[in-house]
Amino acid sequence: MGDLGLGQEFHTWHQFSSFFDDWCEKHKVLFIIASLKPLISLRQNPLHYQPSLAATLRFRFVRLICKHSGTYVGQSTIDCPASITLRLGPKKDRLVVIEASLEHNHKLSEVEFAHYFKRHQLEASMGLPIRITNSVSKRFLAPDLIWNLEDYSKAKDKGMCELLSQLDGLFKSDPAAKVKLVFQEDVAVLNSIFLATSHMRSLVQRFPRCLYMDKAACVNSEFELYSVLCQDGNGRGRECAYCVARRGVPDLVIFIVASLVQSAPDIKLKVKCLTVGAGITDVDAVEEVLPCARVQICRLQVLEALYRKARELAVPKEDKVRNLLHNMANASSPRVYSQYLSDLEDVAPLPFLQYYLEHWHHNKGMWAECWAFERNCDCPFLEHMSFHQQKLRSALSPPLGLAACVRGLLELQALRVEMAALNEERVSELYRAVCPPDSAALIAEELGLAKHANYHVKEVPEGFLLDGGICSFLVSRDLAACSCSIYVSSRRPCRHLFATRLWTGQPLYDPGLLHAPSGGEGQDT
């Protein structure tokens, strides 16, 4: 067999794994790992060159043998000599094939290959037993299960160990968080991570009516980030679920939606609309999980996709085709849509028309204006996703390992991040319209101070406790009163009320705050 031989070099384990999967598929051969040595041992101090390579190379020595080598008891009686060995190269930055015995002493069976071969097996976690990963994939993780998985992974899979350490930290600070790790069946290869903190779950429970989902970022060459947002009482898009998924994983949308509903069951009948990006196509089964919801595809993204296709195909009379597509997307009735479609059939060349009919016409009810969930209303999908991606860029710098990605996503779930984007002037204007000038000025000052404060918010039975490091303050459960001296003396909304309202998604402008009832205040602590 050709195209795999001595001296061949691979700069990442993923590069070798992908190459080896393709090579095995081409030649219908089955290999298993006989022995390996991690690049970094958790029992030793890492060498100077290793930390940056640990996630990409993973191993310094790997030996693969034919499934029928007979090395292990009960494995095979054929005793096939075929084997492949890789070792860390002299430059310590790549794996090099140092042995390639590719001749088998038995017939290669395509039937056996089809039954046993699974792609990505070489990227499996070497420390996690398959019986554990098969079981883990079917439910939310519990904190004690994280500890067990960490024990299995120690000294065997540094990347998995780091990821589990991040999740362990999450559960210690937020025991009510919901996390799933989904592995390929019968292979300890991680396919996806679903994550929703208790605060994210609270937001979707408060604001379940309209949800927004799209691919938000590329994590690395193998994984992508999908985010689900809701719209809070201030009209802001707020994260309510993350899913980091391997590229090409099937049925991903239904998995994300089902996991979100499992994490917050009360929303099942309250979600009325789910808007997704034009790149998300497997939405047919969503209404089985959200029976009261309409699924929409972002209309502007659909038009952008159509315009790109028209340019790609060099469509004659492109301006006219674009105008017809725009008119179809914004048609006021199904009859008007059909009329513009007829005009498109007369003008557009056959290849473009076939693309349109196959990809967009059949689901026109999900993106054309005349079938919209709310007609004649601007959909905030693009605004929310753009703001969300802007936040992601401040915390994530791809390519990232999964542990670093999870850490960055969790760091975004902080009050200071939400406060940084607060437009306090717009809120101040609303109060100026209903308040005397002196009161409006004080409220504007409190809004400005809220934006630059750094509080940790914790929900407690009495309301919300804001910890500022030196002092803590109690905001009432109805978000109308605060224990601070500013509120107690003036009965005007203070920085703590504004911070808590923004964190929980409640409107910052509320005339009721100007006439809050007395009583229910605590003391500064």
The string of DSSP codes covering 311-365 is: HHTT-TTHHHHHHHHHHHHT-SSHHHHHHHHHHHHHHS-HHHHHHHIIIIITTGG
Q: How confident is the model at residue 41 (pLDDT cuts 50, 70, 90)?
A: low
* Spatial contact of 24 and 112, defined as CB atoms under 8 Å apart: no
CB atoms closer than 10 angstroms to residue 491: 16
Distance CA 331, CA 369 (A): 6
Distance CA 359, CA 355 (A): 6
For residue 219, pLDDT over 60 is answered with yes
* Lookup: tokens for 340: 């513009």
Distance CA 119, CA 444 (A): 59
**Global confidence as pTM:** 0.81
Higher model confidence: residue 53 or residue 90? 90
Cite the DSSP H helix spans in 373-436: 381-395, 402-412, 415-420, 424-432
pLDDT for 115:
85
Distance CA 13, CA 19 (A): 10
Among 48-52, 277-281, 481-485, 510-514, whose mean pLDDT is lowest? 48-52
- Region 368-386: mean pLDDT is 93
* Spatial contact of 237 and 345, defined as CB atoms under 8 Å apart: no
> In whole angstroms, how large is the CA radius of gyration of the chain?
28
* Spatial contact of 193 and 402, defined as CB atoms under 8 Å apart: yes
Higher model confidence: residue 180 or residue 44? 180
Distance CA 103, CA 465 (A): 69
Q: Spell out the residues 6+ positions from residue 320 whose beta carbon is closer than 8 angstroms to its own.
A: 347
Distance CA 435, CA 437 (A): 6
pLDDT for 50:
55
CB atoms closer than 10 angstroms to residue 285: 13
- Region 15-34: mean pLDDT is 90
Q: How confident is the model at residue 75 (pLDDT cuts 50, 70, 90)?
A: low
Higher model confidence: residue 29 or residue 153? 29
Q: How confident is the model at residue 523 (pLDDT cuts 50, 70, 90)?
A: very low
For residue 525, pLDDT over 50 is answered with no
